[in-house]
Chains A and B, each alone.
Chain A
Amino acid sequence: MAITSDTRVRLTARAGIGLRLPHIAEVVATRPPVGWLEVHPENILANPHATELLVDLASTYPLSLHTVGVSIGSADGLDRAHLRRLRHLVDLVDPVLVSGHLAWSTHNGAYLNDLLPLPYSDETLAVVSHHLEQAQDALGRPFLIENPSSYVAFSHSTMTELQFLQALVARTGCQLLCDVSNIFVSGHNMGYDPYAFLEGIPADAVAELHLGGFTPEEDEATPGATILIDTHAHRIAEPVWDLYARAVERFSQAPTLIEWDNELPELAVLTGEAEHANRVRNQELEVCRAGAC
């Protein structure tokens, strides 16, 4: 069964935040005024107490499940047991969105705890398309695919990342999670124009936007150069806000989420970033309504 229909729900225009375990009790207690919440289900599945709290939050907020454990690009297939666990959680909290990454993380029974790069080839396209259909069948939901942050690529790729995403959408009708920060990070690291990348994404396919912080490091092999690491450990950088404004123009229907995973700050910092996203979005949409886009 291919799940390709547009089941995009109307999320509130207010930005949401990624909810991590250290904040969950505070969010339950204070119900901060954010539009929606997104969790990594892998943090919830092993934690019955957190599951209980998440069910409680589902009565207040639209929820999204953003998995880091469905290795959609693994050559040796999907982890069926993990998909069954995810399906239980989907049935329990009825998320408005379910998403994962254009990457792989499992090999021969080992889970490598990272989002690893894929070669962009016809073989990979066939593997990802097949697994996407399997994941959607198992979860009973559309499965949004997020563009990765990249540090390295493969010389035998026959497509660029953008061409691959375009081909994936054309072949499967899937929806995309456009991570604006990842576009900026990958553009910097791999030497392409992030605005040109953004222009090439099929606009109708984009159902969610992500924003997160990165960490610049010295690029050891190139004196004076930096590489950007997608750490989700900082505030969103100014040039990413600029790129986000353009993303709002192109994908005005897509709700926005703030991600922060490492060196987690006070909850108020996250909600402040979400408020900033709301201001950027509203300003940009106002400009567009005035016909200046």
Chain B
Amino acid sequence: MLALAELQAGVRRAVVDGDPSAVALLLTGGGDPRRRLGIHHRHYVTSLTTALLTRFPATVWLVGSDLVTAAAQLFIEAQPPTRPCIAEYGDDFPAFLASVPGASNLPYLEPFARLEWHLGRLALAVEQPALDAERHTGVVYLHLTWPVDALISVFLTGTEPDQFELRPEDIWLEVRGARGELRMTRLSPEEFARHHVRIESDDQEDIAR
């Protein structure tokens, strides 16, 4: 008889990797209980893939759902969630997405997806969160190496320009959000540095508290 911890390690492998071999002989239920356990693997993959596609709709718009779906399924296997709040899952997805083979010629993809991650988070923010257990401030400062703020505005506003030219460019961006409203403001490097220092100082004070 497997101890509970050992059994759960085997079921985890079945759920995340789709490999039920470690627990197959212990399963009962129906004509083929391994297929029954596969229901949990299917749910794990589909629910988290859906969560990521829902979290990154502009990225799907930009590069298509095939690439994002394939990357999401690799990401889900490589980096399972570590917290039960699935809306918080995916902060590492932009970097992962940019590393998959089909994205190698899309250098603007990581900053675009990273900006979208922050926009999604800020859309849920409020000025003074009732729960202060975690930081949910409604502002973020981003240094981007592509003008993806203009590109994502095309998606957000539903405009369809005949042509959109994208060249590498340093962008210092302030993004504010609350209750579904978002505002992106480009800053000078000096303004950005002042805010960045202040935010880091606030972080240090939070840590000290």
Chain A residues at the B interface, C-beta cutoff of 8 Å: 42-43, 45-52, 55, 67-70, 73-76, 79, 81-82, 84-85, 88-89, 92, 104-114, 116-119, 121, 123-124, 127, 150-156, 189-190, 219-222, 225, 227, 229
Of A69, A70, A110, A153, which contacts B29 at CB under 8 A?
Answer: A153
Asked, given contacts A116-B11, A189-B29, whether A151 binds B37 with beta carbons under 8 Å apart, the answer is: yes
- Contact assessment for B180 and A49 in the assembled complex, using a CB-CB cutoff below 8 Å: yes
Q: Name the distance in Å between A24's Cβ and chain B's nearest Cβ.
A: 12
Answer yes or no: B33 CB below 8 A from chain A CBs.
Answer: yes
Query: B158 an interface residue at 8 Å Cβ cutoff?
Result: no
Interface residues of B in 4-46 (CB under 8 A from A): 4-5, 7-9, 11-12, 15-16, 23, 25-33, 35-37, 39-40, 43-44
User: In the assembled complex, how far is the CB of residue B128 from the closest CB belonging to chain A, in whole angstroms?
Assistant: 9
List residues of chain B with CB within 8 A of the CB of A119.
Answer: 4, 7, 26
Q: Which residues of A contact B180 (CB under 8 A)?
A: 49
Q: How far is the CA of A227 from the CA of B29 in the complex (A)?
A: 11
The CA of A144 and the CA of B197, in the complex, are separated in Å by: 47
* Bound CA–CA A114/B29 (angstroms): 19
A89 to B130, CA, bound (A): 9
Interface residue from B2, B3, B36 paired with A227 (Cβ < 8 Å): B36
In angstroms, Cα B81 to Cα A197, docked, is 35
- CB <8 Å contact, A105 and B125: no
Distance, CA A156 to CA B1, complexed state (A) = 6
> Among the interface residues B87, B129, B180, which one has the most CB atoms of the partner chain A within 10 A?
B87
Within 8 A of A (CB), among B92-143: 124-126, 129-134, 136
Partner of B87, one of A47, A104, A229: A47
- A221-B30 in contact given A51-B131, A69-B85, A151-B37 (Cβ < 8 Å): yes
Q: How far is the CB of B60 from chain A (nearest CB, A)?
A: 19
A106 to B133, CA, bound (A): 21
Nearest Cβ on chain B to A242's Cβ, whole angstroms: 24
Q: How far is the CA of A153 from the CA of B3 in the complex (A)?
A: 15
Check: B48 CB closer than 8 A to any chain A CB.
yes
